[in-house]
Amino acid sequence: MITATQGVKVTSTCAACGGVLVRDLGQFVDRGQLRWGIEGRCQACPNAWCETGAGPAPQEIRQALLAEHGATRLRLATEAASLAPVLRALREMRHLSLGEARLSAAELSGAGMVGTSVEMAHLAEGLRKRSVPTTLVPSPA
């Protein structure tokens, strides 16, 4: 099982007092499940919170991670990969229809899928469990 995590600190103005609000935004894999989290704390007042969720991260988190760390591209390691296990993995992990899974499989066998390093590592692990070899490489978003 993979362990993947990525985070970034973002500052903004606290809505409660106008002080500096520091937020830790992150994405990680926990027990095989893609998850995300936000922890916020004002440096000037007691305003603080923590929020987590399962599945794809909200766009604010994804965009902050991509801006800070860059994107990762996932491709099938070989063009000879059988389509059936790729489709099964995509449908299970991403909850796609068969048509959507076919489009994603074509993307993987072509230019590749692009996302955060955690998203792509999670998908690569799901494909590996189906004996589908992949490659992960840094990519311009």
Using one digit for the tens of pLDDT, what is the confidence trace for 76-118? 998 766 899 999 999 999 989 999 999 999 999 999 999 999 9
Those residues whose C-beta lies under 8 Å from the C-beta of residue 130, and which sit 6 or more positions away, are: 85, 86, 88, 89
Residue 90 and residue 56 in one domain: no
Q: Rounded to 5 degrees, what are φ and ψ at 33? A: -115, 135
- Quickly count: other Cβ atoms within 10 Å of residue 114's Cβ: 16
Question: Domain range spanning residue 29?
Answer: 5-69
SS3 26: strand
Q: Rounded to 5 degrees, what are φ and ψ at 36? A: -145, 160
Residue 9 and residue 33 in one domain: yes
Among the three residues 69, 90, 115, which one is the final residue of a domain in this structure?
69
- Label residue 2 by pLDDT band (50, 70, 90): low
Residue 61 and residue 31 in one domain: yes
Residue 40 and residue 98 in one domain: no
Residue 124 and residue 94 in one domain: yes
Residue 87 and residue 110 in one domain: yes
pLDDT in the model for residue 117: 95
pTM over 0.75: yes
CATH number at residue 89: 3.30.1390.10
